[in-house]
Amino acid sequence: MLDLQYLCDNLEAVRENCENRGVKINLDDLVALRDQRRELIMKGDQLRSEQKETSGKIPKASAEDKPALIARGKELRAEVAEIEQQQKEVDLKLREVQNQIPNMTHPDSPVGRSEEDSVTVREVGEKPSFDFKPKDHVDIAESLDLIDLEAGSKVAGHGFYFLKNEAVLLELALVQFAIEKLRAEGFTVMTTPDLARDDILEGIGFNPRGEESQIYSVENTDLNLVGTAEITLGGMKKDEVIDLENLPIKVAGISHCFRTEAGAHGRATRGIYRVHQFTKVEIFGFTAPDLELSNEFHQMILRIEEEFFQALNIPYRVLDIATGDMGGPAYRKYDLEAWMPGRGENGEYGEVTSCSNCTDYQSRRLNIRCKQPGTKGTQFVHTLNGTAVAVTRALIALLENNQQADGSVKIPEVLQKWVGIDLIKPGS
């Protein structure tokens, strides 16, 4: 959510930004509602002021003056209630409009409506060349007995899976490797709740209930299965005031991610590329409200994400995501796409991680502020998030890039200490 005052003071810039982001919105409504709100506040203030004054006189008033004052007090109470009701309604409408307006955008983000408009920043690593037809992860997993998709469908439906044997060890190894790396980078690591309340989801920018929601919600409660630990890691500081000297806060969390994938039917449904549940290690940061600092933090997250895939020896490219494709809260967003030799005809890149600088868009709604000792007031912190590793996608890249002609798969060296072997062989 953006600041109301800011929105009204920068209508043209906001209008252009909405245009670039592909968000249709009537900003005139916003201004009209803001004006209504202002009038109601002024009227209400005036009435409450008189109300205070009236009731304040009563203890000292003479017996003959009292009844009139009390009667006036009753009148005022009714008038105040009326105004407050109107203001509540206006505030609600205002909030609705405000929530649809996306964050402002980094000046360097490529302008465009779709994925194709994103810009490749760099390609890193050498794509493996095979002297055989590389298999996709489903076929590899089949011959090595690593994933049971049918069992997943049986117990929970399409989009669920069982990892088996070395795939289990690989999941744990990927998580451990990520955690080890993040601790070395100074992050406080944690495991997080897999459920969160509606208001936390909304604060982060998710729409927990509704037709096209990506979120599984639990009936008869205000709880939802989280789509990412970004929700819980960001939500953990809700309503807090943080001393400036304690920023930045660097946290990372292991969680499961649950996504309904509503509207994604028919898109890359094979295997474990698009699933309803996966394990992820998420990076999250709270910084001072200073673009220089949060942009720097953003670059650090990107660096960590890249180093992770470099260490696994998986080729990838970095995309600077176009305005129309980055979602409401982000000010700037990068994706890492790993090379997946089994995708498409001759291999394709597939998204494995992303990272966003959300500036104060999330913190405003979550009410996460910071305070500098000795200064008046508070400011909303900047929040950032990124994926250290999303296990299923990383697993796809790992299996497909490291497959051998004999059907075996090499384990990247950095993971071997956890997996315990250097090669997954058929029938082993």
Q: What residues are labeled active site?
A: 259, 274, 351, 354, 393
Q: How wide is the angle at C-alpha 189 spanned by C-alphas 394 and 231, nearest 5°?
A: 75
Longest CA span, the chain: 105
Per-state percent for the chain, helix, strand, coil, to nearest 5: 45, 20, 35
CB neighbour class for 32 (10 Å; exposed up to 12, middle 13-18, buried from 19): middle
- 392 near 170, Cβ under 8 Å? no
- Reduce the DSSP state of residue 223 to 3 states and report it: strand
Least separation in angstroms between residue 213's CB and RNA is 22
Least separation in angstroms between residue 368's CB and RNA is 12
Collect all residues with Cβ–Cβ distance below 8 Å to 376 and sequence separation of at least 6: none
Catalog residues that contact RNA under the rule CB under 7 A.
Answer: 4-5, 38, 41-42, 44-45, 48-49, 51-52, 54-56, 58-59, 69-70, 73-74, 76-77, 241, 369, 371, 373-374, 376-378
Residue in 143, 166, 149, 147 with CA at minimum distance from that of residue 427: 143
> How far apart, in Å, are the Cα atoms of 239 and each of 366, 369, 379?
6, 8, 12
Cβ distance to RNA smaller for residue 91 or 123: 91
Least separation in angstroms between residue 97's CB and RNA is 15
Least separation in angstroms between residue 376's CB and RNA is 5
Cβ distance to RNA smaller for residue 113 or 371: 371
Q: How wide is the angle at C-alpha 334 spanned by C-alphas 328 and 337, nearest 5°?
A: 120
What is the rounded CA–CA span in Å between residue 65 and residue 1?
Answer: 50
Residue in 316, 337, 306, 375 with CA at minimum distance from that of residue 115: 337
What value does the CA radius of gyration of the chain take, rounded to a whole number of Å?
27
Least separation in angstroms between residue 377's CB and RNA is 4
Q: How wide is the angle at C-alpha 92 spanned by C-alphas 87 and 94, nearest 5°?
A: 95
What is the rounded CA–CA span in Å between residue 362 and residue 99?
Answer: 11
Cβ distance to RNA smaller for residue 59 or 107: 59
What is the rounded CA–CA span in Å between residue 49 and residue 242?
Answer: 34
Q: Is the dihedral of CA 90, 92, 95, 97 positive or negative?
A: negative
Least separation in angstroms between residue 165's CB and RNA is 24
φ/ψ of 337, rounded to 5, equals -115, 125
Cβ distance to RNA smaller for residue 78 or 184: 78
Least separation in angstroms between residue 70's CB and RNA is 4
- 391 near 255, Cβ under 8 Å? no
Least separation in angstroms between residue 46's CB and RNA is 7
Cα 89 to chain centroid, rounded:
29
What is the rounded CA–CA span in Å between residue 80 and residue 93?
Answer: 20
Cβ distance to RNA smaller for residue 72 or 410: 72
Cβ distance to RNA smaller for residue 67 or 263: 67
DSSP assigned state of 122:
E
Beta strands 147-148 and 423-424: pairing type? unpaired
Cβ distance to RNA smaller for residue 88 or 183: 88
Cβ distance to RNA smaller for residue 244 or 423: 244
